[in-house]
A and B are shown apart, each in its own frame.
Chain A
Amino acid sequence: MNSAKLELTVGIFMLIGILCLGYLSIKLGKMELLGGNYYRVVARFDSVSGLKQGARVEVAGVEVGAVERITLEKESGDRAELILKIKDGVNLTDDVIASVRTSGIIGDKFIKLKPGGSDQMLKEGSKIRETESAIDIEELVSKFIHGNVD
């Protein structure tokens, strides 16, 4: 067997395979080669029921980042603490309102950001003060049926 031809065949096969692997891991797997150009902000919610890690963060319907981590707040232990990663270059005012919304009726939960009018911008690690929790449809319906029992 001609060894140059052998090496060529194997080389082409490896090249195609690695190209496909690269497509899968970088484009689909969203592997961040350079650590990504994001800054992180913290937001605390009464309830983020249904929200998943990696859910998108939107401003005016445009995707500007993702939910990086969901934990319980350490001090009180009864609120949810989210870490949102926001693309560099997206400027958010410090009076931005974060709310948990649903796309469609049964769609995925996402975070909607509504910028305010302040001239102070959020920086790495700063905290979003104004938040609105997820709307619990069952709770709403039960309020409607049973009156204000709570």
Chain B
Amino acid sequence: MGHFLLHTLYALVRQPGRPVHVLKQIRFIGAKSLFVIVLTAGFTGMVLGLQGYYTLAKFGSDGLLGAVVSLSLIRELGPVLSALMVTGRAGSAITAEIGIMRISEQIDAMETMALDPFKYLVSPKFIAAMISLPLLCAIFDVVGIYGGWLVGVKLLGVNPGSYFTEMYRSVEWKDVWSGMVKSFSFGIIIAWVGCYKGYYAGHGAEGVSKATTESVVLASVLVLVWDYFLTSILL
């Protein structure tokens, strides 16, 4: 797996794929994930607003709701949940696509024609994931914050001024930056695991289905484990 990553990074630097391939992958990984990201972000923010309100109201500090919602979204939930959604939606598809090309011997055909599969298949997906994930995470954060606002302010009657003032006061540049670093690295993980599992898929339809399952499970686990280590480094 390490060798695969190194080979891809080498291909990225030496001969990045054609822009149109990257654009197609951004459309697939990023733009088409937009709907599911907005939906999950909205409900995550709303449930944070609901839970946060009832916990904070016990201490009479429901004015801090904005800080709670925005900090938990920006630091942890935004990067992690958006990465998990993209793993389920795009990571599986990447594996299936490359896996089917592998079992129908299209990858071998490319190699025979001296076309580097890393250049045409793998590196556009890497670039697209590295660009799309931070953007999706930013969208997740903003939608989630407004989801929390909807429940906290509109439904439960938290003062709208204190929701936003506490939020602006408690969130720092470091929080935003670390969230973006996280989701950038999650992008690499998703593309890496997805492509690797597809590239070395076993034989037949069964091999592809096994590779796809493994890719989703492995990418999700890696995202959560890496999140822990990255948090302990960045904090």
Complex interface: chain A residues within 8 A of B171 (CB) = 28-29
For the complex formed, measure the closest distance between the CB of A64 and the CB atoms of chain B, giving whole angstroms: 15
Known: A3-B20, A12-B31. A20 touches B142 (CB 8 A): yes
In the complex, the answer to whether A29 meets B34 with C-beta atoms within 8 Å is no
Size of A's binding interface in residues, CB under 8 A: 24
Closest chain B residue to A108, Cβ basis: B169
Task: Name the contact of A16 in the complex, choosing from B34, B172, B180 (C-beta under 8 A).
Answer: B34
Residues of B within 8 A of A (CB): 20, 23-24, 26-27, 30-31, 34, 70, 74, 131-132, 134-136, 138-139, 141-142, 167-169, 171-173, 175-177, 180
A62 lies within 8 A of chain B by Cβ: no
Whole-angstrom CA separation of A29 from B132 in the bound complex? 21
Say whether A10 contacts B30, CB under 8 Å: yes
Which of B141, B172, B173, B180 gathers most chain A CB within 10 Å?
B173
A-B contact pairs, 14 of them (CB 8 A): A10-B23, A10-B26, A14-B131, A16-B135, A16-B139, A17-B30, A18-B135, A21-B135, A24-B142, A25-B176, A25-B177, A28-B167, A29-B171, A30-B168
User: Quick one: closest B residue to A13, CB to CB?
Assistant: B31
Minimum CB–CB distance from A4 to chain B (whole Å) comes to: 11
Q: Decide if A145 is an interface residue (CB 8 Å cutoff).
A: no
- Residues of chain A contacted by B173 (CB below 8 angstroms): 25, 29-31
- Assuming the contacts A3-B20, A29-B172, A54-B172, asked whether A13 and B177 have C-beta atoms less than 8 A apart, the reply is no
Which residues of A sit under 8 angstroms from B136, Cβ to Cβ? 17
Name the A residues within 8 Å of B135 (CB-CB).
Answer: 13-14, 16-18, 20-21
Contact among B26, B169, B175 with A13 in the assembled complex (CB-CB below 8 Å): B26
- Out of B20, B139, B169, B177, name the residue touching A17 (CB < 8 Å): B139
Contact B142 A30 (CB under 8 A): no
Please indicate which of the listed interface residues A3, A21, A24 has the most CB atoms of chain B within 10 Å of its own CB. Answer: A24
A7 at interface, CB cutoff 8 A:
yes
The 5 closest A-B pairs by CB, nearest first: A17-B135, A13-B31, A29-B173, A20-B138, A29-B176
Q: Which chain A positions have C-beta within 8 A of B167?
A: 28
A56–B169 CB distance below 8 A: yes
**By the criterion CB–CB under 8 Å, are A1 and B34 in contact?**
no
When the two chains form their complex, are residues B30 and A20 in contact, meaning their CB atoms are under 8 A apart? no
| A24 B26 Cβ-Cβ under 8 A | no
Q: Which A residues touch B138, using CB under 8 A?
A: 17-18, 20-21, 23-24
> Closest approach, in angstroms, between the C-beta of B186 and any C-beta of chain A?
15
A140 sits at the interface (CB 8 A): no
Q: Give the chain B neighbours of A56 by CB distance below 8 A.
A: 169
Does the CB pair B134–A21 fall under 8 Å? yes
The reply on A60 being an interface residue by CB < 8 A is no
The one of B27, B30, B74 that contacts A6, using a Cβ cutoff of 8 Å: B27
- Measured CB to CB, the closest approach of chain A to B138, in angstroms, equals 4
